[in-house]
Amino acid sequence: MLVALPPSAGGSAFNSFEDCLFYNQSENWVNTLTDAFKIVGNTGTYHIRLRGCQLIGVTGWADDTARIYITDAQPHNTAGTSTTPVA
């Protein structure tokens, strides 16, 4: 996980990420990151908006995508995942 929303943060929040690159820094992505966001308990009032964002070395956006909104075409948990082009 790259971004965590813990229950201790409290209150309601609307987080917007635009043209962000979420990048797995481990060498050759040896340490698998399954989610860019970790939404931990009692964060029902949190909403995350993603526009033009990209994942590299991360397999999905969040363990709970009910609070994630992607404004790009065909939003799904792996939208924006970058892969190496096939020759």
Q: How many CA atoms within 13 Å lie on the side-chain side of 86?
A: 0
Q: Which residues pair with 14 in a beta bridge?
A: 47
In eight-state DSSP terms, residue 85 is P
Identify the pLDDT of residue 18: 92
Report the distance separating Cα 40 and Cα 7, nearest Å.
Answer: 6
Structure tokens belonging to residue 36: 């860019």
Query: Are the C-beta atoms of 61 and 77 separated by less than 8 Å?
Result: yes
What tens digit of pLDDT does each residue of 6-38 get? 666 555 677 889 999 988 888 776 788 888 888
Q: What Rg, from alpha-carbon coordinates, does the chain have?
A: 13
In eight-state DSSP terms, residue 74 is S
Q: What is the pTM of this model?
A: 0.70
